[in-house]
Amino acid sequence: MVETLRVAILGATGLVGQRFVSILSHHPWFSLEALYSSPEKAGARYGDVVEWAIDDRPDSWIWRVKLRKLDPEAVAGEKFDVVFSALPSEVASKVEPVMARMGVRIVSNASNLRMDPDVPLLNPEVNAEHASIAETQIASRGWRGWVAKVPNCTTAILTLALKPLHDEYGVKRVLVATMQAVSGAGLRGVSAVQITDNIIPYIRGEEEKVERESRKILGGLEEGKITLSPIQVSATTTRVPVLDGHLEAVFAELEEEPGSRGEVERVLEEFRGNKLRGLNLPSAPERPIVVRREHDRPQPRLDRMEGGGMSVVVGRVRLDPVAGGVKMVVLGHNTIRGAAGNGVLIAELMHRLGYL
Amino acid sequence: MVETLRVAILGATGLVGQRFVSILSHHPWFSLEALYSSPEKAGARYGDVVEWAIDDRPDSWIWRVKLRKLDPEAVAGEKFDVVFSALPSEVASKVEPVMARMGVRIVSNASNLRMDPDVPLLNPEVNAEHASIAETQIASRGWRGWVAKVPNCTTAILTLALKPLHDEYGVKRVLVATMQAVSGAGLRGVSAVQITDNIIPYIRGEEEKVERESRKILGGLEEGKITLSPIQVSATTTRVPVLDGHLEAVFAELEEEPGSRGEVERVLEEFRGNKLRGLNLPSAPERPIVVRREHDRPQPRLDRMEGGGMSVVVGRVRLDPVAGGVKMVVLGHNTIRGAAGNGVLIAELMHRLGYL
Amino acid sequence: MVETLRVAILGATGLVGQRFVSILSHHPWFSLEALYSSPEKAGARYGDVVEWAIDDRPDSWIWRVKLRKLDPEAVAGEKFDVVFSALPSEVASKVEPVMARMGVRIVSNASNLRMDPDVPLLNPEVNAEHASIAETQIASRGWRGWVAKVPNCTTAILTLALKPLHDEYGVKRVLVATMQAVSGAGLRGVSAVQITDNIIPYIRGEEEKVERESRKILGGLEEGKITLSPIQVSATTTRVPVLDGHLEAVFAELEEEPGSRGEVERVLEEFRGNKLRGLNLPSAPERPIVVRREHDRPQPRLDRMEGGGMSVVVGRVRLDPVAGGVKMVVLGHNTIRGAAGNGVLIAELMHRLGYL
Amino acid sequence: MVETLRVAILGATGLVGQRFVSILSHHPWFSLEALYSSPEKAGARYGDVVEWAIDDRPDSWIWRVKLRKLDPEAVAGEKFDVVFSALPSEVASKVEPVMARMGVRIVSNASNLRMDPDVPLLNPEVNAEHASIAETQIASRGWRGWVAKVPNCTTAILTLALKPLHDEYGVKRVLVATMQAVSGAGLRGVSAVQITDNIIPYIRGEEEKVERESRKILGGLEEGKITLSPIQVSATTTRVPVLDGHLEAVFAELEEEPGSRGEVERVLEEFRGNKLRGLNLPSAPERPIVVRREHDRPQPRLDRMEGGGMSVVVGRVRLDPVAGGVKMVVLGHNTIRGAAGNGVLIAELMHRLGYL
């Protein structure tokens, strides 16, 4: 890569922001130029205010970067090639449209805009072709920039595992119970008093996101707009005392009956996300889906970093006549594949497709 | 109660054995006369060899009880009114039939014999009437005693929550994902290295037990034998870093559509296990099912001791058109309702019905 | 008790406030008349806004109590017999002196005022005689009420274990490393992301409190004022992934050499806090110090509720020539003996001594 | 390195064995030729019987290696350049001397022989010069091989942090309370039922090892034998719910008073283990001691992998007049610096010194 792209992070001190920092501090294409934060932290050095909470350590120069105050006009004025947003949704819903109108290209992890039919909600191996609706977005909204969205973490992990089954057998219905890591709620979202020796069987808004976003990600593309998939999804989402990695117990009703458990496992592990073939995206894992055949895998602590945290790991595949198809256990790293890692992959895709 | 019944515990040092000890050291009907253990511990005082691991403390005299060696003939010779077995299944499968033949009445938590059609597998509020097949057992086997079985922990909790729904709406199909406490594997079954910051998505034999035993517990009684219910159950069972309390995410397809979420909640909480009406069993909780309407309950740490650990707690009841009925979260204490507490309740029932 | 005393709680929704509620909802002497909270919660029913996080459940009427806004004049106007404060220190330092001036008698868990020489800092079995400086306080400050303080949790637990050693052998120096429960930081003080699979070797202000308050609690009383004990204390305090119960590894240099380990254990377990003899305070545990002689106790989960959470449990007593005395492990329940339970015990003492 | 050295691992399936495998599967000098295990596992492929429990994954060929039965003669016959022993001490005490007599050079993590005056107990940055007593060992015992010992994990971590203080100020006395990770007890040493929401304030034999081995490691070398250091050490060791990383709260009495906290920190971080200067040992971390000046470090999860798990991390350095010197918090990775990593470093040292 001769030319590097100038990028910035909005909301750099939170847990997803930290993952963005960690990945982007040594990315082959992207040069991290600026970190933006809330006004009370602006002006401080990153290392002095961030409550760093992940094992990965970025290159050390990052600790000395001075945080900038998030101001849409200032961001637009910098003419970054792309901006990564790890902003809270209530902030993002205010500033992202303003910045996009001013010409900023934004890959955002915030939940606003995700279901708008002209906003790409991308899980690249699954629906890279949806990227093109960025054009519809620009055209119809009169914006000079655009917003592409990172899906909800649980949904990104789920749809990646469902995609090859859907292609091969047709997925009619999915019932899923999740066991989600505490890091999914951010640095201070779950307190130790709440979760020690405990499970909280509720995550605000999560089930609706899974049910809704799955249908968009697996949906079609007609005349520049996304059409929702008819797949039916029902979820119960819970929080468990695990640091990183969302585990999902999936029951999938299929249109065609698979021949055997082994066949399903092969369909899963041979999936390559053909839409990315030949693009050589640096963050795309060699195997988007890793299948484990042991009886007791995947396990969050042992398997969440598979493919650098970008692969989902599927195990315990069983033909399930009661569910009308298969049941399986799916694991993915919630702040990498489910957030920052997927965000960077999306930006890489948008670049290869000519949108950066 | 003028007369007290003489009881003993087999396998008193394990985790379920400890719960039996804790409950029976101060029971209004039962007088705990003897503790049996494996040969290597026999002869020692209970307090010197037990690795006591539960918060509850039994009356202190129990620590000084001398452990006896488990010998079927010796047990039979003691003519206890009832004997509680917390033996490992491989031991139980050898000694329980021998003792029953010799006249011992056994309430057993071990998994052997559970699916035999003439062996009562009891969750008293659900299927107290199955107790009568003890007579078939005695008659057909030529035994002088009998064996009644405590169901698998996960199944006991599940079927208690399903029973009122089945009575009211008809349950056709159940898909369930469980999050099970480490105490379910016994004192040393799950190591800290395995489960710290982790989930193990597999428990040996558990899914088969849930799928099979549910059909027996919810089954009918015809000519002295149990007929299996046509209910279809598919389970994915996992182990989570929680000490006590199994949480189950249940998706139930119903034959009749409930009118509303509130109606389902009322059906659940008004359930009283009518089969126990008037029996005044000391271990029967006033409310077998406690319904929580908050959005984030039940939680293992906060709710597992509801009804002294004998109630199941149901929350997050939602009508679910995708599942074709309802989804809900069910919690129960695995070593009380799911094991020792249920065992004592079964013995109380057998006594009231005249089998002790 | 013919007459009951009217009491109120300030800061009722936090974790220490919850413990006060739990204890006072069924206290033999005290009738809980009012709960005060921050303005944003005032007006709501307690059950609707409290994030209840403890296993103990108070009587159910408490859920329906309407929270009152904390207003010093209104509190004073109610003429409660005593008011329990679980306020944050920065709030307490503003309102407690104002209320005391107006005549309110306050037993407070907040850290302000603790080191003032005319403010009783009470661990009743250790220094009940310090209660009398409330008179100095009233006289010198011209207040109509008074403030008595609950010591820092770690310090209360430590000084209770040190007192009999100090009486018997003379304690010159204490080096202590603590492992403190997450509940010590309140409902949201420690996040799960921080503490999962981790230890945080720092607690703000804690070491200074232990070092300072120990000297006051073990200090003398001269002419109505406390004189600090010459005991030297150095602490390193850490936060560990345990819900309740502070564990302290204590190395104590003694003036006189104990005869044997057994002798030290007897000195500890025979301690009765003679200053409370004959007062029959309901919250005083029969044995303030419980000694465990097993090699692996005390353990937080198994021992923290000893004496209803009011006893400290000491184990692993060893003569230690390197330390110049003894080493031992001390455990106490941080929100009961270390906070609310001790607060109620202090109020009971003040009542018996005629200050209520 | 032109020539590679042929090595083997004894006890390859345990947790320390796994760390040896992980490090040696891609070591620049050592070629891993064989894995030995207990008879019941011998013959199986490594990947089929190991309960792999660490995040690190070795090169994949290792899974297919067939385990050999541990037979001293067979091991000797292979003429490995060095053999790494992660055997349980009771096995090691039988086979290690036999193999050494036959000519095997053994670097062993087992606790037998550690205190023998002619057996090197090595923490290379601290006491590399002790390596030479291998010659005494060979000469006096008439062995053709030798045994060098890896110190107890807690002791290795502690003595590394003490060494520069000892050199600079003279350490007279150390009181230390430890918080040790569950992995220190091996794969199944601590059960989840025991440690969930809990601390176990006892580790069998650990305190004696710390007190004894510290004096040998910091001891002198006279006429080919180790003389024990007069340093006095007293320890209380506890087990906490943390996966990896032992944390130690250290109080050190010094002969000379340090000038300032900053001076002590510099003394620590400037320590390079001069005895290794110029040897270029691949496993020697650039900085044996990393000093953190933040108020809340070191933390096990964030800092245990410092220097690839071979550095100790020291924080919270404070001058402590009560202890008569300094207090500080020391962290090290118990299965890397405290076991397998140190073992490999020792072998590298022995090679450079000409003993391989």
Whole-number pLDDT of residue A58: 84
Tokens matching residue B19: 């719960």
Using an 8 Å CB-CB cutoff, list chain D residues near C234.
251, 320, 322-323, 327
The 10s digit of each residue's pLDDT in C256-307 is 999 999 999 999 999 998 789 899 999 999 999 999 999 999 999 999 999 9
Confirm whether B246 is a catalytic residue.
Answer: yes
Whole-number pLDDT of residue C204: 97
Low-confidence ranges of chain D (pLDDT < 70): 1-2
Give the DSSP letter string of D247-286.
EEEEEEEESS--S-HHHHHHHHHT---GGGTTT--TTS-S
β-bridge mates for residue A7, sequence order: A32, A82
Answer whether A241 touches B (CB < 8 Å): yes
Residues of B (242-261) whose Cβ lies below 8 Å from C = 243
Give the DSSP letter string of A257-321.
--S-HHHHHHHHHT---GGGTTT--TTS-S-SEEE--STT---HHHHTTGGGGTSEEEEEEEEET
Is B347 in contact with B104 (CB distance < 8 Å)? no
Tell me how close the Cα of D122 comes to any Cα of chain A, in angstroms.
Answer: 29
CA distance A108 to C154: 45
Neighbours of chain D (3+ CB pairs under 8 A): A, B, C
Tell me how close the Cα of D205 comes to any Cα of chain C, in angstroms.
Answer: 11
**In this prediction, what percent of chain D has a pLDDT beyond 70?**
99
Answer whether A335 touches C (CB < 8 Å): no
Answer whether A55 touches D (CB < 8 Å): yes
Least CB-CB distance to B196: which of D15, D194, D241?
A: D241
**What residue has token string 């792209």?**
A5
Using an 8 Å CB-CB cutoff, list chain D residues near C238.
179, 247, 249, 329
For B181, nearest residue in chain D (alpha carbons): D193
The H or E element that residue D192 is part of is: helix D192-195
Whole-number pLDDT of residue A3: 72
pTM score, two decimals? Answer: 0.96
Using DSSP bridges, classify how beta strands D68-69 and D30-37 pair: parallel, antiparallel or unpaired.
parallel
The 10s digit of each residue's pLDDT in A124-182 is 999 999 999 999 999 999 999 999 999 999 999 999 999 999 999 999 999 999 999 99
Helix/strand/coil for D7: strand
Give the DSSP letter string of C91-126.
HHHHHHHHHHHTT-EEEE-SSTTTT-TTS-B--HHH
Question: Is C194's CB within 8 Å of A189's CB?
Answer: no
Q: Alpha helix locations (H) across D218-355? A: 261-269, 300-303, 341-352
Show the beta-strand stretches assigned E in chain B. Answer: 5-10, 30-37, 68-69, 82-85, 105-108, 146-149, 171-180, 220-222, 225-227, 232-239, 246-254, 289-292, 312-320, 325-332
The 10s digit of each residue's pLDDT in C238-268 is 999 999 999 999 999 999 999 999 999 999 9
**DSSP structure class, residue B200:** B
**Average pLDDT score over residue span B255-283:** 95
pLDDT band, residue C217 (cuts 50/70/90): very high
B247 pLDDT higher than 80: yes
Question: What size, in residues, is chain B?
Answer: 356
**DSSP structure class, residue B28:** S
**Average pLDDT score over residue span B323-344:** 98
Low-confidence ranges of chain A (pLDDT < 50): 1
Question: Is C296's CB within 8 Å of D247's CB?
Answer: no
pLDDT mean across residues, chain B: 96
Whole-number pLDDT of residue B1: 46
Is C18 in contact with C50 (CB distance < 8 Å)? yes
Using an 8 Å CB-CB cutoff, list chain C residues near D333.
none
Q: How far is CA D267 from the centre of its chain?
A: 23
**In this prediction, what percent of chain B has a pLDDT beyond 70?**
99
Tell me what ipTM this predicted complex has.
0.96
Show the beta-strand stretches assigned E in chain A. Answer: 5-10, 30-37, 68-69, 82-85, 105-108, 146-149, 171-180, 220-222, 225-227, 232-239, 246-254, 289-291, 312-320, 325-332
Tokens matching residue B4: 């007290």
CA distance D137 to D125: 22
Whole-number pLDDT of residue A2: 52
pLDDT band, residue B224 (cuts 50/70/90): confident
Nearest to B287 by CA among B264, B313, B250: B313
Tell me how close the Cα of D335 comes to any Cα of chain B, in angstroms.
Answer: 13
Residue contacts between A and C (CB atoms, under 8 Å): 65
Using an 8 Å CB-CB cutoff, list chain A residues near B197.
241-243, 300-301
Whole-number pLDDT of residue C2: 52
Neighbours of chain B (3+ CB pairs under 8 A): A, C, D
Residue C132: what are its φ and ψ, rounded to 5°?
Answer: -65, -15
Answer whether B191 touches D (CB < 8 Å): yes
B2 pLDDT higher than 70: no
Least CB-CB distance to B305: which of C55, C196, C305?
A: C55
Answer whether C191 touches A (CB < 8 Å): yes
The 10s digit of each residue's pLDDT in D70-95 is 999 999 999 999 999 999 999 999 99
CA distances from A221 to A216, A227, C34, C160 (A): 10, 6, 61, 72
Question: Domains plus CATH for chain A?
Answer: 5-152+340-352 (3.40.50.720), 153-333 (3.30.360.10)
The 10s digit of each residue's pLDDT in C30-57 is 999 999 999 999 999 999 999 999 988 8
CA distance A201 to A178: 9
Answer whether A177 touches D (CB < 8 Å): no
**What residue has token string 């359930």?**
B271
Confirm whether D333 is a catalytic residue.
Answer: no
Using an 8 Å CB-CB cutoff, list chain B residues near A316.
201-202, 236
Using an 8 Å CB-CB cutoff, list chain B residues near A199.
179, 240, 242, 247, 299-300
**Average pLDDT score over residue span C100-128:** 97
